[in-house]
Amino acid sequence: MNVETKGGDRAIVCKKVLLATGALTELNALLPGILIDQMLRPLTVSLVEVSKEHAEQQLKCMPCVIYRGDGHHSWHKVNPNYKNRNVGFYMLPPIKYPDGVTMSRWHGDSCFEEETPKIRPYIDMVHGQLGVAIGGNDDAAKSSDEIGRMAAMMMLREWDSPISGTFFGVSCIKPDFHPDLTFVSVQ
C-alpha cells in the first residue's frame, strides 16, 4: 500500500492500512472506488469549563450519558438530524485538557458525524490490506478506545471480541471496486 500526503511530497509504503478517519473518509475521498453506506450530519458542540474543585468534588463520578428521545416539552424541536424530530446528545464527565483546563466558561462549536444504517460503527477489512474503523454514529468519543482496540486486533487478524466481526461489517461497496487497490490519499 502507498499512503501519500495531500501535496504528494511524502509517501509511506506499508503492508496494511487502517483508516480511522471518521467523516473525513467520504469528504476527502480516502477510499476511491468504494461507496460506504453512511450519512454525514452536522452536530452542535457545547464545551463547558468547570472549576477544578467542582470537577473533583461534584462531578468526579459523573457517567457518560447518551440520550435519544423526545426531550422536554420546552426544548426546541426543529432539528433535521433526527428522524421523527427526536433529539439526541451525549455528555461526558469533565476532561482535563493538556493546558490544565477542565472547562468555568463555555463556548459552542460545530462538527459533523457519520451515521450508518444500523447505528453501529464499521470495523471491517475492505480488502486484505485495507481496513476501516469509521461510522461513529455520534457515540465514538465514549467508545473510541474499544473501537480502536478492536480495529487493531482485526488488522492483526486476531479478532477477539465476543461480538462477531460481521456485526460491524461495511455495507454498500461500489461494484467497480477492485481488490488490487494500492493507493490511499491522506489529506
Same domain, 68 and 92: yes
Q: What confidence category does residue 55 fall into, taking pLDDT thresholds of 50, 70 and 90? A: confident
pLDDT band for position 185 (50/70/90)?
very low
Asked if residue 184 is part of any domain, the answer here is no
Residue of 120, 119, 134 lying closest to 82 (CA atoms): 119
Domain membership flag for residue 142: yes
Question: Do residue 121 and residue 95 come from a single domain?
Answer: no
The pLDDT of residue 180 is above 50: no
Domain assignment present for residue 44? The answer is no
Do 40 and 27 form a contact (C-beta atoms < 8 A)? yes
Number of domains composing the chain: 2
> What pLDDT, on the 0 to 100 scale, is given for residue 93?
79
pLDDT tens figures, 97-123: 777 665 757 777 777 778 888 888 999
Band (175; pLDDT cuts 50, 70, 90):
very low
Residue 55 placed within a domain? yes
Same domain, 122 and 91: no
pTM of the complete model? 0.67
Q: Does residue 187 form part of some domain? A: no
**CATH code assigned at 140:** 3.50.50.60
Of 104, 130, 149, the last residue of a domain is 104
Question: What residue type is 149 in one-letter code?
Answer: R
At 25, which helix (H) or strand (E)?
helix 24-27
Structural domain range at position 85: 50-104
Residue 167 lies in a domain: yes
Same domain, 121 and 174: yes
Helix (H) or strand (E) holding 18: strand 17-19
Nearest to 1, CA basis, from 154, 155, 168: 155
- Asked if residue 111 belongs to a domain, the reply is no
Judge residue 23's burial from the number of C-beta atoms within 10 Å of its C-beta, 0-12 exposed, 13-18 middle, 19 or more buried.
Answer: buried
Return the exposure string of 119-147: e unless at least 16 CB atoms fall within 10 Å of the residue's CB, then b: eebbbbbbeebbbbbbbbbbbbebeeeeb
